[in-house]
Amino acid sequence: MKPHTPLRNIVFDLGGVLADLDPERCKASFRALGMPQVAEWIDPCYPSDLFARMERGDLTAAETCEELRRITGRTEVTDEAIAAAYRSLITGIPRYKLRMVQALREAGFATYMLSNNNPISMPYLAECLFTADGRTMGDYFVRIYLSYEMHELKPSPSIFHKMIDDSGMVPGETLFIDDGAASIATAHDLGFRTYMPAPHEDFRSVFDGFAVRFPAD
């Protein structure tokens, strides 16, 4: 990406951009619980209606687990087992990506997160995957926008408008990085600069030409 002036803000998606995902591992986890129907619903970019309702904040984690037991007839499966299976979608966050975000923030960019997420996965992500360098998730971002707290889902323009109104960011001065084509399209239509990385991509080269020094991996 060629440098532009000014670029003031960078908005990161979480899953598929910072955090690596393994849908097949998650599907296998649900099959192991005797919930093969649920395995077929696992799609990070296009979640099933039930998971979308949880990500939009219409259902709590407990209500989602209860609905999964009702649908599958596996009444003996605990909330904890369902949560562990769902979290197995996330394989980790490479440390170099955490250091990339930190370096961008230290270079003067306002870094944000905008994520379709849920109350099952988010505590694990915050407590376990952002702490490799002794920091917390909040240390990396000016503000974190989560779908289940905003009661909106990407790619709806509404979630972008809420983020813009809350943060005061100017879309033309903001780079939006997401792995979902529909979200990228919405952001582009709203005037954001956009980049869609491939799965597991090291996209630090996007910032070539900007005054950012990334630390060694």
Two tokens at 183?
């979200």
CA–CA dist 82, 120 (Å, integer): 9
**Beta carbons within 10 angstroms of residue 53's beta carbon:** 18
CA–CA dist 190, 95 (Å, integer): 31
From the candidates 13, 20, 43, 202, give the one annotated as an active-site residue: 13
User: In residues, how long is the chain?
Assistant: 217
List C-alpha distances in Å: 2 to 5, 11, 174, 177, 202.
Answer: 10, 17, 14, 15, 17
3-state secondary structure of 11: strand
Known catalytic membership, residue 178: no
Helix (H) or strand (E) holding 189: helix 181-189
Task: List the strands of the sheet with 174-177, edge to edge.
Answer: 143-146, 110-115, 9-12, 174-177, 193-195
Write out the catalytic residue numbers.
Answer: 13
